[in-house]
Structure 1
Amino acid sequence: MAPVAAAPAVVAAQQLSLKENLTLMATHESKLELVKSQAQMPGPGQALVHVRATGVCGSDVHFWKHAGLGPWKITDKTALGHESGGIVIAVGEGVVNVKPGDRVAIEPGVPCGKATCNFCLTGQYNLCPSVDFYSVPPADGTLRRYHLHPAGWLHKVPETMSYAEIALLEPLSVCLHATAQAQLRLGQPCLITGAGPIGVVQLMCANASGCSPIVITDLSQERLDFAKTVVPEVIPFKIDLSKTEQETAREIVATFTKACSGVGGTGLNGEVMPAVTMECTGVESSIATAGYATQPSGLVFVIGVGSSFLKNFPFMHFSTNEITLKFLFRYRDTWPRAIRLVSAGKIDVKKIVTAQFPLERAKEAVEHAADRTKFSVKTLIVDEE
């Protein structure tokens, strides 16, 4: 019965009057190109989405400037974008979970789903070695007007959710996965390193989890001030690069101790140290500082993406203090929770948006997000009807 139910939508798709399909692509020559094409109609199991909002991620900037990221290289051109939401305008044969007119979030990581894949079988689908992650070569991303996507990896959202909120479910999913893996708890002292978009969303998640006190660090006072407007209870700490990682860590611990007004702590002389540090930069010196600041038997959870190798990692400090170092890779099973949190007003992801550009100016939007001389937390690219 499924093919019969889907057939009218397939016919309707071929009668659509669509605009040019603008797509922002990064090239192997480290250039940005806004390419025009015609939208393709959905095949079996696919849906065609009019992408109404896309967030610019740091990885988009990295793919543009370096023609790759880690092991993934751009050999010709790759469409950017993986933080997207929109509205279904057509579906292919056999699609029953979404229909034209549905607002949807696009989960960009699509695993193989084969019975021979242990990671897919055990629910760890983000670790599937054959995953297609849209915007990671060779898979094109979602920073385009019309995007074809496997319908099973589209998540319906309430009509009350804005397209900006739908797009920002992706970075929220990263932080929800990190929050669950780190097991953040009520009353737990928490350090967050980095007040960029992931750091600020992680701050919202840690606050919602009941962590207290929370200290957030950054090099930029402007970003720290912004983080405090999002979560007024947070304690900002500005990093001074002229100081060593150990000196900075001692000052961070002093900040936690002062915030707790001398109550019994976890360090010497009643010091209060963070039980968990959510490391959102991937910067080597920041990871080292996190290790020195975190309490013995604590957790340093690295969310940020950095260099392929660490050259000056304080191994013995982590070892002799039994500090756990843990990482995450993207997310899994987070989208339904993210939708519930945002639609219920528990997490206001719109707060991180600091700039907005139309799709026709997508190249300018990515350049703006990459420009360190301009204040930017999350840049959004939108396409109207």
Structure 2
Amino acid sequence: MAPVADAPLANMTALKENLALLATSKKELELVRSQAEKPGPGQALVHVRATGICGSDVHFWKHAGLGPWKIDSCVGLGHESGGVVIAVGEGVDNVKVGDKVAIEPGVPCFKPTCNFCLKGKYNLCPTVDFYSVPPRDGTLRRYHVHPAGWLHKVPESMSFEEIALLEPLSVTLQATLQAEIKLGQPVLITGAGPIGVVQLLCAKAAGATPIVITDVVADRLAFAKKLVPEVHTYQIDTAKTPLECAQEIIALFTTACGFAPGTGSDVMPAVTMECTGVQSSVHTAAFATEPTGLVFVIGVGANYQEIPFMHLSTNEITLKFLFRYRDTWPRAIRLVAGGMIDVKQLVTHRFPLEKARDAMFHAADRSVPSCKTIIFDDA
């Protein structure tokens, strides 16, 4: 198809109906049908071929909001997407029709009055348009119009599922870079959900060793072990205190390094990547991390939580947080295309776009072992 700017409108109407999955303020899901939009200046129309379901999508649906963002009426879900450019608007020269692209969903203002954008910390832009966060509709749809400058071309060799998974990889890649994980560094990962296992892949690629990953669910730990056989797993017993769990985790690190626990040679993680946002897990992370170490919180949790303040203080443990990502997409593309990180193995379930509601129900069902659910749309 020729670029829309030079093509008759008839070409647009020849497209299939545009399906999109919405969450409503009544905590319902709606699969709506419409016509594809025409891209304006600086925009491109993408046929979205694959979208991953994120925990935030489920949260927006189940709670009609997330943190400070509330659904007033409805909002389109989805922000882990990739596809093919099928039309471009005026002035677009970074992508062309036929290009495979990843969609970076956070589009900042880049106004000269925005200090965060000027400093390069565009993920903190207070007026960022993040697609799937109200009021901006998401990318879980057949055809999506997006600012062309926030589309990243990818090699033809990459699958659409790999392209979709660049978004969660960008989260953990940003965390790995900010945490400065180093070769031979002991690293603890709390939480073996989708973000936890992507963080595991990043920690392994960064050269961390030994790595211990925790979770309350045995199936999740088994999946993590399948992905990275050398990882050590620890199943959290909720009947134990965070301190007791931390002591057993330290013993596991020590044993993994070839020492006997309690003999003066204990090994503690220098960095803990907290991927749950659950208060008790943050406490376990704090008690397990070595003095002067780092607890890096990636998970999203309750608005207000208690922390073991004096333990963190008297051990000079740094508590740091992450909000999305910036400048990660080209690096993430190189890591996947170059075979350094294999995200394909994260996909456990696939649904066609027409069954997007079923896919969301599946992703929300904690009784079914699952890591990453992909919604696809064939050409």
What TM-score does the superposition give when structure 1 sets the normalisation length? 0.96
Question: What does residue 30 of structure 2 align with?
Answer: 33
| 8 Å contact from structure 2 (residues 182, 208) kept in 1 | yes
2:355 to 361, 365, 368: 361
1:50-65 matches, cutoff 5 A? 50-65=47-62
Residue deviations 1:104-127, cap 9 Å, x none? 000000000101111111100000
Q: 1:268 to 1:59 in 2, by over 3 A?
A: farther
Distance of 2:226 and 2:4 partners within structure 1: 45
Question: What does residue 166 of structure 1 align with?
Answer: 163
Q: 1:273 to 1:8 in 2, by over 3 A?
A: closer
Distance of 1:189 and 1:366 partners within structure 2: 36
How many residues align? The count is: 376
Which 4+ runs in 1 deviate beyond 6 A? none
Give the partner amino acid of 2:151: L
2:183 to 182, 186, 207: 186
Distance of 2:217 and 2:8 partners within structure 1: 48
The answer to whether 1:304 aligns with 2:299 is yes
The answer to whether 1:230 aligns with 2:227 is yes
Residue deviations 1:79-104, cap 9 Å, x none? 00000000000000000000110000
Question: What does residue 334 of structure 1 align with?
Answer: 328
What TM-score does the superposition give when structure 2 sets the normalisation length? 0.98
The answer to whether 1:126 aligns with 2:120 is no
Give the partner amino acid of 2:312: F
| 8 Å contact from structure 1 (residues 12, 90) kept in 2 | no
Give the partner amino acid of 2:282: I
More moved, 14-23 vs 24-33 = 14-23
Task: In structure 1, list runs of 5 or more residues that go unmatched.
Answer: 1-6
Q: 1:9 to 1:38 in 2, by over 3 A?
A: closer
| 8 Å contact from structure 1 (residues 13, 91) kept in 2 | no
Q: CA deviation at 1:352?
A: 0.7
- SS of match in other structure, 1:306: coil
Residue deviations 1:258-296, cap 9 Å, x none? 000128x9x981100000000000000000000000000
Q: CA deviation at 1:11?
A: 2.4
Q: 1:234 to 1:110 in 2, by over 3 A?
A: same
- SS of match in other structure, 2:156: coil
Distance of 2:142 and 2:18 partners within structure 1: 5
- SS of match in other structure, 1:191: strand
Task: In structure 2, list runs of 5 or more residues that go unmatched.
Answer: none
The answer to whether 1:289 aligns with 2:289 is no
Distance of 2:180 and 2:339 partners within structure 1: 22
Q: CA deviation at 1:10?
A: 1.8
Question: Over aligned residues, Cα RMSD in angstroms?
Answer: 1.3
Distance of 2:241 and 2:222 partners within structure 1: 24
Question: What does residue 311 of structure 2 align with?
Answer: 317
Give the partner amino acid of 1:277: T
Question: What does residue 90 of structure 1 align with?
Answer: 87
